[in-house]
Amino acid sequence: MKRTTNVIFAAGFFALAAGLLIARDQPAAGYEASVYAGTPNLAWACFGLALALAVATTLGTRGRAQAVGIGLGSMTVTAIVSLPIVRNYRFSGMGDALTHLGWTRDIVDGLLVPHELIYPGVHSLGVAFHFLGGVPIERALLATIVVFFVPFLIFVPLTAREMTDSATAMGFAAIVSWTVLPINNVATHMGVHTNSNALFLVPVVLFALIASLRRPSTVERLPFGISPYIVLLYLTGIALLLAHPQQMINVVVLVATVAGVQLLARWRLDEHPIVEQPTMYTPTIVLGTIFTVWTLANERFRTALVGLVEGVFATDVGTGAEVDQRGGSLAEIGGSIEELFVAMFLDAAVIGLVVGLFVLATWLGWTALDRESSSYVTYFGLALFPLGGIFLIYFVGTPTMAFRQVGFIYVLLTILAGVALAHLVGGLSGVITRPGANTVAALGLGALLVLGLTTVFASPLIYSPGQHVTDAQFSGYETGFEDGAEDRPHVGLGYDPYRFDHGLYGLEGEETLSGATVATGEVDPDEFEAGNYSGAYHGFDYYLIVTEFDVTREIEVYRELHYSDSALEGLDAEPTVNKVVSNDDFEMYAIASEA
């Protein structure tokens, strides 16, 4: 049996190594709308084999063998997340990621001090990689994504085991973590996105919380009787705060929920594991104070808070209108909200349903959990109510923030899913054999893994082309910004170019667009489609920027919903239009106004 297991592991790690080498051997030659399509099929076959063997050994073995199986699966998923680095992307991310790149560049250039940012964690680590590794800032930030991601894969199964002392729960939690449910590609992304990156640190804080509750107060004490796990809770909470405060406040809410349940239990119960656990009153106050002092001292946070309050009371802001608009646009290009839901959220919906039913069964006393393990499930389950309340506030006020909140909720659900699936499969093994139950679980989780991993990155599959930034794009933007007339705005085709100004020059200097007399923006699609190129931007002379990303998004993915191929081709025949910059992935036109 041991020899067979060793052969399986050898095959799995060989497949993983082969997949990485094959992917590395075929780097991206130009802009890629999908990292999935760009990566060779043979590499995906190798990754698939490694994951299949990892799932089988994680569920079918125990002890050291199970740990190696979890390691194989976690390393394979990390390899998939690392594909932009492996395949030599210059950078990935055209929205917030470029702004974060700019802030990192400002820190490197000495124009910005890290603590002046409300969330300097990602940027500071990127700066460290840049100086210590001697790599470009863009590549340093891509490496930071991976470094932040790894703790999620490690501490989700560790937290599930700490909650239940069950190797089975640990194995299931590990597999569910490989689906990367906190990433929804609506408001959380696998990229340089500090809110999303912070999500992957949350399980470290949760592990410290559960460990501080579970470990006896008479052992493992620091001087003055301080629990090392409480210290770890404070330190990881501060690390999370520096990564992004929104996820820190969610942790404060969770810890406060634990404290509230403990207070109620001590009032109503004489004997229960909750009564014997260390109280979370002080940690709630300490973490809440740290959060308050840090955030209220930052103007950016105060501005965001005001915007949220205004959004709550505005009548024309909310997720409902946004969903209706996107649903109509999808219908026009042959898609549907239902189709998109299956691709993006079916795996999350299944896990959410399983966890919801399990928590309810636990509260009704229908599970085999002991009273102490049930208390941890109760803590997480009850915390979903205030966390859900925050989601509703965001839903009404700032829709994007609502889906960020969903990301945090799914960190909790991922951990709870390990406990829930362990009990579900345990019950199923009483009906059929244990190997049969594991086989059913492996097939079901395998399907969820496919759904989860095919939407970790944006791609045309979810009507969102990949945000791969090539050398040619950076070069084109840099040439256009530096050689263009100062009084002419740079206008994008459905995309405002100011983000590239951030990425190339930072936000603290006074370069190019920041000194322009006319704001940047997007060309008017109706005027552009009518062939009125001169009047397509408020009657100004302007530079129109068209990248391979724009063409892929508007022509191939959106199927000419806003801009058509014929309108783009018409630029070359228009006498008021001159192409002034051109390379493989970038074109810039100087367009004279009607005046």
What is the four-CA torsion angle of 273, 274, 280, 282, rounded to 10 degrees?
Answer: -90
Q: Read off the tokens for 437.
A: 């139950």
CA distance 542 to 521: 10
Tokens of 540: 């100004």
CA 246/CA 495 separation, integer angstroms: 27
Is the per-residue pLDDT at 511 higher than 80? no
Residues 6+ apart with CB under 8 A from 182: 152, 188, 196, 199, 200, 407, 408, 410, 411, 414
Q: What are the structure tokens assigned to 346, written together?
A: 């079916």
Q: How far is CA 458 from the centre of its chain?
A: 11
C-alpha dihedral, 221 to 284 to 193 to 19, nearest 10°? 40
Q: What is the pLDDT of residue 218?
A: 54
> Does 135 have pLDDT greater than 90?
yes
Q: What is the pLDDT of residue 531?
A: 93
User: N- to C-terminal Cα distance for the chain?
Assistant: 82
461 confidence band (pLDDT: 50, 70, 90): very high
Output the furthest CA–CA distance in the chain (Å, rounded): 87
Other CB atoms within a 10 A radius of the CB of residue 436 amount to 12
Q: Is the pLDDT of residue 366 over 90?
A: yes
Tokens 């075929």 -> residue:
26
Residue 372, token pair as written in the block: 């102490």
87/549 Cα distance (integer angstroms): 18
CA dist 234 and 241 (Å) reads: 10
Which residue has tokens 């399990």?
358
Instruction: Judge whether 257 and 264 are in contact, CB under 8 Å.
Output: no
Strands 490-492 and 577-583, sheet pairing: unpaired
Which pLDDT score is estimated for 516? 45
Among candidate residues 432, 464, 421, 441, the one with its CA nearest the CA of residue 557: 464
In the DSSP assignment, the letter for residue 220 is S
Cα 229 to Cα 204, 205, 216, distances in angstroms: 11, 10, 11
pLDDT digits (tens, 9 = 90+) for 294-316: 988 776 666 656 655 655 555 45
Query: Global pTM?
Result: 0.94
CA distance 402 to 388: 9
| 140-160 pLDDT per residue, tens | 999 999 999 999 999 999 999
Find the helix or strand (DSSP H, E) in which 388 lies: helix 371-397
User: Is residue 547 within 8 Å of 473, Cβ to Cβ?
Assistant: yes
The predicted structure's pLDDT at residue 514: 47
Q: What pLDDT score was predicted for residue 315?
A: 46
What's the confidence (pLDDT) of residue 517?
42
User: What are the structure tokens assigned to 13, written together?
Assistant: 């790690």
Q: What pLDDT does 151 receive?
A: 98
Give the helix ranges, DSSP H, for 82-120.
83-86, 96-108
Edge-to-edge strands, sheet with 490-492: 521-522, 490-492, 542-547, 586-591, 577-583
Mean pLDDT is lowest, of 168-177, 222-231, 398-407, for 222-231
**Burial classification of residue 494, based on how many CB atoms lie within 10 Å of its CB (0-12 exposed, 13-18 middle, 19 or more buried):** middle
- Measured distance CA(388)–CA(243) in Å, rounded: 22
Q: Among 63-67, 213-217, 390-394, which stretch is predicted with the lowest mean pLDDT?
A: 213-217
> Any residues with CB less than 8 A from the CB of 530 and at least 6 apart, and which?
none
pLDDT band at 335 (very low <50, low <70, confident <90, very high): confident
464-497 pLDDT, tens digit each:
999 999 999 999 999 999 998 888 999 999 899 9
In three-state secondary structure terms, 341 is: helix
